Amino acid sequence: MEKVWLGEMEYRQALEIQLDHVERRARGKIPDTLLLVIHPHVYTLGRGGHESNLLVSSDLLRKEGIPVERVSRGGDITYHGPGQLVGYPIVLLAQPDVHRYVRALESVLIDAIGRFGVPGRSVSGLTGVWTGEKKIASIGIAIRRRVTYHGFALNVNTDLSYFRRIHLCGLKGKKPTSMSEFLGKPVAMEPIRDAIGEECWRQLGGLA
């Protein structure tokens, strides 16, 4: 799997890059690819998301220059922003088994953050990765022509106050956490990128 670091990039620009990669992967022009990126502040609503889970007015967000994007992934509302690592695996699946793929992404993240002393776990009936009772990573995916896109968002050094403006992933009362909050210190992003890249290569290759 090829790993591509996009740096900091607006959400819509990264989505265009994803869709281009999806089409080229479906035609066999490129290998499976992991796009990694950090987005400026943005809230995204999945295709089944409810606007009622956004707890502040759109006027306030407009004044702050924070967009709200309705997108094609599964899941409800989430936040992306500085200090959060977002990954978009572009993977051609042998069988478009959404459940199996999502569980594989959870495993990738659990094993990656575990290398840094942060315990992650999956929760039956919920999507994403949890540390204790708090959510540390969200997952929302889509599949087109048997190729995956969208993906995961891992809170590394994220300012968690932005999550107070939403019901996280549509779950009332659930709170977020980050690697830096759990460890009590800032976390370097590059080693996390490397660990996730290695785990994606190891665990997602078997789905092709």
Q: How many Å apart are CA 201 and CA 15, to the nearest integer?
A: 22
Confidence of residue 206 (pLDDT cuts 50, 70, 90): confident
* 93-130 residues labelled b (16+ CB within 10 A) or e (exposed): beeeeeeebbebbbbbbbbbbeeeebebebeeeebbbb
Quick one: pLDDT band at residue 172, thresholds 50, 70, 90?
Answer: confident
pLDDT at residue 35, rounded to an integer: 98
Catalytic residue list: 169
Query: Residue 208: pLDDT above 70?
Result: no
Residues 6 or more apart whose CB falls under 8 angstroms from that of 204 comprise 1, 32, 89, 91, 104, 105, 108
Mean pLDDT of 144-154: 96
Check which CATH number belongs to the domain holding 151 and give it: 3.30.930.10
Beta-carbon-side half-sphere exposure of residue 174 (alpha carbons within 13 Å): 25
**Most trustworthy range by pLDDT among 52-66, 108-122, 194-208:** 108-122
Instruction: Please check the confidence at residue 122 and state whether its pLDDT lies above 90.
Output: yes
Pairing mode, if any, of strands 2-8 and 33-38?
parallel
Q: What is the rounded average pLDDT of the residues 90-107? A: 93
The pTM of this model reads 0.95
Long-range contacts of residues 115-123, Cβ cutoff 8 Å, at least 24 apart: 115/195, 116/179, 116/183, 116/187, 116/191, 116/192, 116/195, 117/183, 118/179, 118/182, 118/183
Q: What is the mean pLDDT of residues 134-156?
A: 96
Q: What is the DSSP string of 50-102?
A: -GGGB-S-HHHHHHHT--EEE-SSSSSEEEE-TTEEEEEEE-B-SS--HHHHH
Q: How many domains does the chain have?
A: 1
pLDDT at position 169 is 74
Region 98-118 average pLDDT: 97
When pLDDT is cut at 50, 70 and 90, the band that residue 153 belongs to is very high
Tokens of 55: 């707890």
Q: What percent of the chain has pLDDT over 70?
A: 100
Mean pLDDT of the chain: 94
Distance between alpha carbon 31 and the CA centroid of its chain, in Å? 21
| Structure tokens, 195 | 């660990």
Host domain of residue 128? 2-207
The mean pLDDT value for 192-199 works out to: 98
13: pLDDT confidence band, cut at 50, 70 and 90?
very high
Average pLDDT over residues 157-182: 91
Tell me the β-bridge partners of 151.
140
> Is residue 58 pLDDT above 90, yes or no?
no
